[in-house]
Amino acid sequence: MTILNEPTTKLNITNTIRALANFYASQLLQCSKQSPTSSSTVRMIHAHMIGSNFRPQSHILNRLMDLYCKSGNITYARQLFDEMPQPDIVARTTFITAYSSSGELKLAREVFNTTPLNIRDTVCYNALITGCAHNSDGNGAIELFCEMKRYDFRPDNYTYTSMLSGLSLVAEYESHCQQLHCEIVKSGTGFVTSVVNALISVYVKCASSPFVVPCLLMGAARKLFDEMPYKDELSWTTIITGYIRNDDLYNARDVFDGMNEKLVVAWNALISGYVHKGYVFQALEMFRKMHLLEIRFDEFTYTGILGACASSKLFLHGKQVHGYIIRTVKNPSRDFLFSVNNALITLYWKCGKLEDARKIFDRMLIRDLVSWNSILCAYVDVGLIEEAMSFFNEIPEKNELTWSVMISGCAQNGLGEEGLKLFNQMRSYNNCQPCDYSFAGAIISCAVLASLDHGRQLHAQLIQSGFESSLSASNSLITMYARCGVLQDSQSVFRTMNALDSVSWNSMIAALGQHGHGGQAVDLFEQMLKEDIVPDRITFLTILSSCSHAGLVDQGQRYFNSMSELYNITPGEDHYGRLIDLLCRAGKFTEAIDTIQKMPFNPGVPIWEALLGGCRIHGNIELGIEAAEKLFELIPQHDGTYILLSNMYADLGKWSDVSRIRNMMRVRGVKKEPACSWIEVDNMVHVFLVDDTKHPEVQKVYKYLEELVFKMKKLGYVPDTKYVLHDMENEQKEYALSTHSEKLAVAYGLLRLPSGAMIRVFKNIRICGDCHNAFKFMSQVVGRVIVVRDGKRFHRFENGKCSCGNYW
């Protein structure tokens, strides 16, 4: 550094200072070209200034402060600022900008407000308007815009671009945008590339608003694009991504094909557009072409293409890309590592390789929230809730996605209470407002618990929070109302939704099927096909169950065959299970066995369970024993098999076999899930066990039940004591029947709920045969509707009949 050793004669001082100033200015300029700005370099230059006793003039100091801000040292820069006797407008604007981009809009405004009017300029207004736009204060931007015009500051192209991006935060922004467009044309900036780009971008945003016809606005955007005198990279990408955002891949591709530059951003946008639309092949094809044209991949390309592999479970393709990255990418940046590793986590877990996903996660030296959320999803997806929970607790800064994944994860694994607990915790968590997905999770939790009151409250809150039109939340409402026994409310949600996806249809079809309306389920399925909604695997599972419950054998078989013939879906074991169930319920055992033998895989649990269930209905003991034996081998600890088999023996009065089975359970240590039923009264859940003595009002319930049974017997009710599995005297048996938990819960509801109100009772396992019969008579005696949801389905008793048509 030769200049430091120059002789310091008086004459030379000014020269030295000038030389130093030039030197530092060029150093700082060099530094500002680095991205991101390195804070150590800035500190070094500053230290050098102090060491050489150089007192920077304001423009050098301004640049220094700007660099400090950009390298993350705003606080220190502010100290320098506060020491300045009269900071000029450039210094002030530096801080307005710095505070704005670090999210501290208040501080930015403070600097702006303490800036005297006579030194303000358009630039400082621009800086604060941008700050408003970035910190979601659209109205603030508009106020500043009006203010600057009042004080005669002329808006320039920066002002217009910032305003346009800020406006979309304001209600009814479309009309504001039109005004602004007029003003831009009048101001003569209507042909400035950056301004037209911003206009295009705003038209694109308007087009995706639900209240307009998108093609008209996209047409206007396209016109602007076609007529602009000079297009830069951004112009191309804005219009291309605009089309993609509005689901118009055709036009996106059209513009893209007219583009000469090898603009990596445009390629990435199109790739991710294809992936989102499910056109994985096209995405892979573009990736290949990029490679041929020697366009450099960046992290966006990789995340796009890895996402494509993940969504189609193309494990080997994905692994190849992973290997390619390892071989070719040297010195990856932080951002590169974040996004690519996160995409790899998702690739591996979606391909069923949880271990590999975990390896990627563990090897990441630094993780961001997406990494945590991705690994959380992986564990939730395979149902490892405890592990997922321990990840969840480790996540330092949770966002609404973290919460909603965990909430719906609990709900999907039957942990309704935990789901609701988390939802309430989320609300008390400072920076996390529930989003529509977390509402959906909480609503499904209510479905699991069959808590209608709570579910209705959440529905109300959902509307209050403005998520009424959310697909996922509405879909969860359909399921919740159905599982709480109020099918009509499911239907009214379904009917009033303004957009439906396959989940909506599946949920509604399933709801009808579970409530025993097989015919209506089939009608709705046919309507779905008519509206060109492509049925998926789930659709077929639900429609097959519906046919089975409604005894629609031929129909069900036809749907089963159409899966592979028309929709290219290979039936899985679960589909075969439903088909076997359908056949066995109808007593077609020969066909069922024939189907099992022709299946492309060895029969497993779902198949044998379906067979056993059918045998129980038709008293086919030989086949039933065979199925039960297989199940004893496959799932020896499952209580359901033993109970079904012992019920079959009981039906035939073979009490020695009944006790043999019970003995088997004891020897093998199989625990019978204790039966319990519950009912919601006054926002409280009341649980009853068999022969309950714990509930405070149980004595009243027994007495009332006695009166009811007396009246029921007059109508012809005969207690069916074969459902008592113990060998005891008849009178005792009758008493044992009258203490079943579902009877207690129903009776309690009749006592406590307002007259005429529907009774909704829930039982953890299948309803007992005598109770099923008894409720028919009971509904007649009390003249009320009784709905019972058991482990599998719904029974709606009205005027002596059950909706299940005795298919249960």
Binding mask 612-631 for DNA (x = CB under 7 A): --------------------
The DSSP line for 749-772 is HHHHSPTTPPEEEEESSPPPHHHH
Q: Which stretch binds DNA (CB under 7 A): 404-412, 420-428, 480-488, 704-712?
A: 404-412
For DNA, the binding residue among 115, 404, 506, 542 (CB under 7 A) is 404
For DNA, the binding residue among 38, 208, 399, 562 (CB under 7 A) is 399
Task: Name, in order, each residue with C-beta under 8 angstroms of 565's C-beta and a sequence gap of 6 or more.
Answer: none
The minimum distance between CB 452 and DNA, in angstroms, equals 24
Comparing CB distances to DNA, the nearer of 421 and 662 is 421
Q: Which stretch binds DNA (CB under 7 A): 394-402, 515-523, 543-551, 620-628?
A: 394-402
The DSSP line for 251-302 is HHHHHHHT--S--HHHHHHHHHHHHHHT-HHHHHHHHHHHHHTTPPP-HHHH
Q: Which stretch binds DNA (CB under 7 A): 111-119, 192-200, 693-701, 746-754?
A: 192-200
The minimum distance between CB 110 and DNA, in angstroms, equals 17
451 binds DNA (CB under 7 A): no
**How are strands ordered across the β-sheet holding 684-689?**
684-689, 676-681, 759-763, 786-789, 794-798, 801-802
Comparing CB distances to DNA, the nearer of 28 and 768 is 28
Site for DNA in 211-230 (CB under 7 A): none
The minimum distance between CB 275 and DNA, in angstroms, equals 7
Q: How many residues bind DNA (CB under 7 A)?
A: 76
Bridge-based pairing of strands 759-763 and 676-681 is antiparallel
Rounded to the nearest angstrom, the gap between the alpha carbon of residue 579 and the centroid of all alpha carbons in its chain is: 31
Residue 36 preceded by cis peptide, ω within 30: yes
Binding mask 733-772 for DNA (x = CB under 7 A): ----------------------------------------
Task: Name, in order, each residue with C-beta under 8 angstroms of 399's C-beta and a sequence gap of 6 or more.
Answer: 369, 373, 432
For DNA, the binding residue among 194, 208, 413, 721 (CB under 7 A) is 194
User: In angstroms, rounded to a whole number, what is the distance separating the alpha carbons of residues 377 and 320?
Assistant: 24
405 binds DNA (CB under 7 A): yes
Site for DNA in 586-615 (CB under 7 A): none
Q: Which helix (H) or strand (E) holds 517?
A: none
Q: φ, ψ for residue 429 (rounded to 5)?
A: -75, 125
Sort 226 into a burial class: Cβ within 10 Å, 0-12 / 13-18 / 19+.
exposed
Task: Name, in order, each residue with C-beta under 8 angstroms of 322's C-beta and a sequence gap of 6 or more.
Answer: 306, 344, 347
Sort 13 into a burial class: Cβ within 10 Å, 0-12 / 13-18 / 19+.
exposed
Bridge-based pairing of strands 801-802 and 786-789 is unpaired
Comparing CB distances to DNA, the nearer of 426 and 658 is 426
- Read off the tokens for 331: 């010195």
For DNA, the binding residue among 241, 282, 539, 779 (CB under 7 A) is 241
Comparing CB distances to DNA, the nearer of 82 and 731 is 82
The minimum distance between CB 456 and DNA, in angstroms, equals 22
Comparing CB distances to DNA, the nearer of 373 and 475 is 373
Q: Which stretch binds DNA (CB under 7 A): 60-68, 146-154, 503-511, 512-520?
A: 60-68
Comparing CB distances to DNA, the nearer of 73 and 620 is 73
Site for DNA in 26-45 (CB under 7 A): 32
Site for DNA in 309-328 (CB under 7 A): 310
For DNA, the binding residue among 71, 165, 246, 542 (CB under 7 A) is 165
User: In angstroms, rounded to a whole number, what is the distance separating the alpha carbons of residues 560 and 581?
Assistant: 12
Comparing CB distances to DNA, the nearer of 420 and 698 is 420
The minimum distance between CB 507 and DNA, in angstroms, equals 15
For DNA, the binding residue among 94, 507, 779, 803 (CB under 7 A) is 94
State the amino acid at position 209 in one-letter form. S
Which residue, among 429, 364, 362, 436, has the nearest Cα to 399 in the 3D structure? 429
Residue 44 CB neighbour total at 10 angstroms: 13
User: In angstroms, rounded to a whole number, what is the distance separating the alpha carbons of residues 231 and 376?
Assistant: 43
DSSP state of 795: E
Phi-psi region of 72 (alpha: psi -120 to 50; beta: other; left: phi over 0): left
Q: Are 772 and 763 in contact (CB under 8 A)?
A: no
Q: Which stretch binds DNA (CB under 7 A): 91-99, 443-451, 530-538, 606-614?
A: 91-99
The minimum distance between CB 304 and DNA, in angstroms, equals 5
The CA angle 306-310-316, to the nearest 5 degrees, is: 80
Comparing CB distances to DNA, the nearer of 329 and 593 is 329
- Read off the tokens for 145: 């815009």
The minimum distance between CB 75 and DNA, in angstroms, equals 18
The minimum distance between CB 580 and DNA, in angstroms, equals 31
User: In angstroms, rounded to a whole number, what is the distance separating the alpha carbons of residues 95 and 127?
Assistant: 9
Bridge-based pairing of strands 676-681 and 684-689 is antiparallel
Q: Are 582 and 561 in contact (CB under 8 A)?
A: no
Which residue, among 673, 667, 620, has the nearest Cα to 643 in the 3D structure? 673
Site for DNA in 275-294 (CB under 7 A): 275-276
Which residue, among 323, 255, 327, 333, has the nearest Cα to 300 in the 3D structure? 333
Q: Are 346 and 325 in contact (CB under 8 A)?
A: no
With tokens 């609300």, the residue in question is: 427
Comparing CB distances to DNA, the nearer of 89 and 593 is 89
For DNA, the binding residue among 232, 536, 573, 657 (CB under 7 A) is 232
Site for DNA in 116-135 (CB under 7 A): 121-124, 126-127, 130, 133-134
Site for DNA in 338-377 (CB under 7 A): 338-339, 342-343, 346, 369-370, 373-374, 377
User: In angstroms, rounded to a whole number, what is the distance separating the alpha carbons of residues 676 and 687?
Assistant: 7
Task: Name, in order, each residue with C-beta under 8 angstroms of 443's C-beta and a sequence gap of 6 or more.
Answer: 455, 458, 459, 462, 473, 476, 477, 479, 480
Q: Which stretch binds DNA (CB under 7 A): 77-85, 233-241, 750-758, 797-805?
A: 233-241
Site for DNA in 642-701 (CB under 7 A): none
Q: Which stretch binds DNA (CB under 7 A): 399-407, 556-564, 655-663, 749-757?
A: 399-407
Q: Which helix (H) or strand (E) holds 793?
A: none
For DNA, the binding residue among 437, 481, 505, 775 (CB under 7 A) is 437
For DNA, the binding residue among 104, 110, 183, 233 (CB under 7 A) is 233
Comparing CB distances to DNA, the nearer of 194 and 659 is 194
For DNA, the binding residue among 115, 135, 201, 779 (CB under 7 A) is 201
For DNA, the binding residue among 61, 401, 432, 724 (CB under 7 A) is 401
Site for DNA in 292-311 (CB under 7 A): 298-301, 303-304, 307, 310
The CA angle 364-370-373, to the nearest 5 degrees, is: 100
Q: φ, ψ for residue 685 (rounded to 5)?
A: -95, 125
Comparing CB distances to DNA, the nearer of 374 and 475 is 374
The minimum distance between CB 220 and DNA, in angstroms, equals 18
For DNA, the binding residue among 169, 234, 364, 758 (CB under 7 A) is 234
Q: Reduced to 3 states, what is the DSSP secondary structure of residue 800?
A: coil
User: In angstroms, rounded to a whole number, what is the distance separating the alpha carbons of residues 85 and 79?
Assistant: 12
The minimum distance between CB 82 and DNA, in angstroms, equals 18
Q: Which stretch binds DNA (CB under 7 A): 44-52, 94-102, 633-641, 722-730?
A: 94-102
For DNA, the binding residue among 27, 37, 62, 451 (CB under 7 A) is 62
Comparing CB distances to DNA, the nearer of 392 and 688 is 392
Binding mask 250-269 for DNA (x = CB under 7 A): -------------xxxx-xx
